[in-house]
Amino acid sequence: MDGLRRGGRHRRHGGGLRVAGVPTTSHVVSTGADGSGSCGGPAPGAAARVLELLGGRGETVAAAESLTGGLVCAALTEVPGSSTVVRGGVVSYATGVKRDVLGVPAALLEAHGAVSGPCALAMADGARRLLGADWGLATTGVAGPDPSEGHPVGTVHVAVVGEHGQVHRALHLQGSRRQVRDATVTQVLELLEQVVRQLSVGAGTVEIRSSEDAKEG
């Protein structure tokens, strides 16, 4: 993927390693009635852990957010000292912003829609390149209360893209609109944390696709 070699500071840790232990298949996350639980409310430690990891590696991060509307950046910048790691973010709520600002190809949007793994990956790559970060994060999905593009509420796709590769995770979240949005923030931050930790202990690159990506082409 050519986009993985553009923007940010390039680092090589060897090549060809497929990072194991980073689940990318669809799963259901249940949230408590008050938004608490394993994925309810942005996990308070997830942002701090990500910033510590990236700071230790001298790397930066940017985010492209749709359904979370800036909550990922808010969670990251809530942590003191985050300015050394966080480059910024793009709230690409409208499909046109995904296309015109982030550079998501119109053909991709036509083929897969805005709520899809391919769109999430393209958004993350676009944020990374646009803002000159080492890592790009993306969130897209349906927070509710109504379905969108034929997808039920709670259908979410998060993605992480960096020089070392790309990861997409498809989610099916349960709960209120707030709970779905908060859980999405936690999920994308924890996905980045898992990828960076795996790269830290096993040098190489990662090109992980979920089963849903394979179906989508």
Verify cis geometry, omega within 30 degrees of 0, for the bond prior to 145.
yes
Does 8 score more than 80 pLDDT? no
Query: In the structure encoding, which two tokens stand for residue 25, read together?
Result: 């298949």
Q: What is the pLDDT of residue 165?
A: 87
Other Cβ atoms less than 10 A from the Cβ of 214: the count is 9
Does 179 score more than 60 pLDDT? yes
Distances from the Cα of 184 to the Cαs of 13, 46, 56, 207, in angstroms?
Answer: 29, 12, 25, 22
Q: Return the higher-pLDDT residue of 190 and 14.
A: 190
Distance CA 108, CA 119 (A): 7
Does 17 score more than 60 pLDDT? no
Does 216 score more than 60 pLDDT? no
Distance CA 186, CA 166 (A): 18
Q: Binning pLDDT at 50, 70 and 90, where does residue 201 land? A: confident
* Inter-helix orientation angle 177-201/46-57, to 10°: 30
Distance CA 189, CA 181 (A): 13
Distances from the Cα of 132 to the Cαs of 25, 109, 117, in angstroms?
Answer: 29, 24, 22
Does 12 score more than 60 pLDDT? no
Identify the weakest region by mean pLDDT among 101-110, 161-170, 198-207: 198-207
Does 188 score more than 50 pLDDT? yes
Percentages of the chain per state (helix, strand, coil), in multiples of 5:
40, 20, 40
Does 103 score more than 50 pLDDT? yes
Q: Binning pLDDT at 50, 70 and 90, where does residue 126 land? A: very high
Q: What is the pLDDT of residue 27?
A: 52
Query: In the structure encoding, which two tokens stand for residue 55, read together?
Result: 């700071």
Q: Return the higher-pLDDT residue of 157 and 4.
A: 157
Pick the most confident of 5-9, 12-16, 157-161: 157-161
Does 212 score more than 80 pLDDT? no
Distance CA 186, CA 160 (A): 13
Q: Return the higher-pLDDT residue of 39 and 90.
A: 90
Burial of 4 (0-12, 13-18, 19+ CB in 10 A): buried
